[in-house]
Amino acid sequence: MEKSKVKRAPKRGIYNSEEIYAILDKSYLCHISLVHKDYPVSIPTMYGRLGDAIYIHGASVSRLVTELEKGLPMSLSIAEVHGLVLARSAFHHSLNYESVVIFGKGKLVEDDEKLMALKAISDQAVPGRWEEARKPNAKELKATKVIKIQIEEASAKRRTGPPIDDKADYELDIWAGVIPLEKQYKSAVPDEKLNNGISEPQSVSRLMKNQ
């Protein structure tokens, strides 16, 4: 756990994989970091988790996958803000959030594992959608590469609750509290070119219901 040890605010650190995976499973967009020509590059992309592996995909010619398939060191991070924490002092302002950092190496996957991974990435954002959509054909599969990232090290951080001010500051006549931030899916907008009589599929109604 050398690289991913939470050094600051150790009480915010989470190291058991069950909790870390639970945070990962609430999201589907990550930032991948890699070193390209001596420069650190961070690229947002979708992901899917299956067991101890994260899968991502990209156009076969994209820098993201052509760099990752070399198996070079990489990291992956996600961060979700759940609230603004307003303290009496500027210094103790904070965010309520959950974040995960993963270190590992990428590896190109093919055939059955590739299809399984594409389904996992699809399911991560919209469970059940894969079964409804037209599956990729040979040409589309060739145009897409899938990278498996075996999780070697992972850690998470979480802050919850009210602001924590210095003792003397509780006497100040300054408002303090938390402003919760929520993400919400709004009613789906059907494509204008949708054929007549096609109703909203289960994947969409389930996503709306489960949020």
| Phi, psi angle pair for 137, to nearest 5° | -90, 180
**Three-state secondary structure call for residue 210:** helix
| Phi, psi angle pair for 129, to nearest 5° | -65, -35
d(CA 14, CA 155): 6
Residues touching a second copy: how many (CB under 8 A)? 95
The closest alpha carbon to 16, from 100, 88, 91, 73, belongs to: 100
Is 101 a binder of a second copy (CB under 8 A)? yes
Burial of residue 48 (CB within 10 Å: 0-12, 13-18, 19+) is buried
For residue 175, the minimal CB distance to a second copy (Å) is 5
Is 180 a binder of a second copy (CB under 8 A)? yes
Is 116 a binder of a second copy (CB under 8 A)? no
Judged by phi (left if over 0) then psi (alpha if -120 to 50, else beta), residue 188 lies in: beta
Contact 85, 96 (CB under 8 A): yes
Interacting span for a second copy (CB under 8 A) from 18-26, 48-56, 106-114, 193-201 = 193-201
For residue 25, the minimal CB distance to a second copy (Å) is 16
Interacting span for a second copy (CB under 8 A) from 16-24, 47-55, 106-114, 172-180 = 172-180
For residue 16, the minimal CB distance to a second copy (Å) is 21
Which residue in 10, 11, 138, 199 binds a second copy (CB under 8 A)?
A: 199
Interacting span for a second copy (CB under 8 A) from 17-25, 47-55, 106-114, 200-208 = 200-208
Is 86 a binder of a second copy (CB under 8 A)? yes
> Rule CB under 8 A: which of 121-150 touch a second copy?
122, 125-126, 129-130, 132-137, 140, 144
d(CA 135, CA 130): 7
Contact 177, 86 (CB under 8 A): yes
Q: State which residue, 3 or 52, has the beta carbon closest to a second copy.
A: 3
For residue 148, the minimal CB distance to a second copy (Å) is 18
> Rule CB under 8 A: which of 26-85 touch a second copy?
29, 31-44, 46, 59, 61-63, 73-77, 79, 81, 84
Contact 148, 117 (CB under 8 A): yes
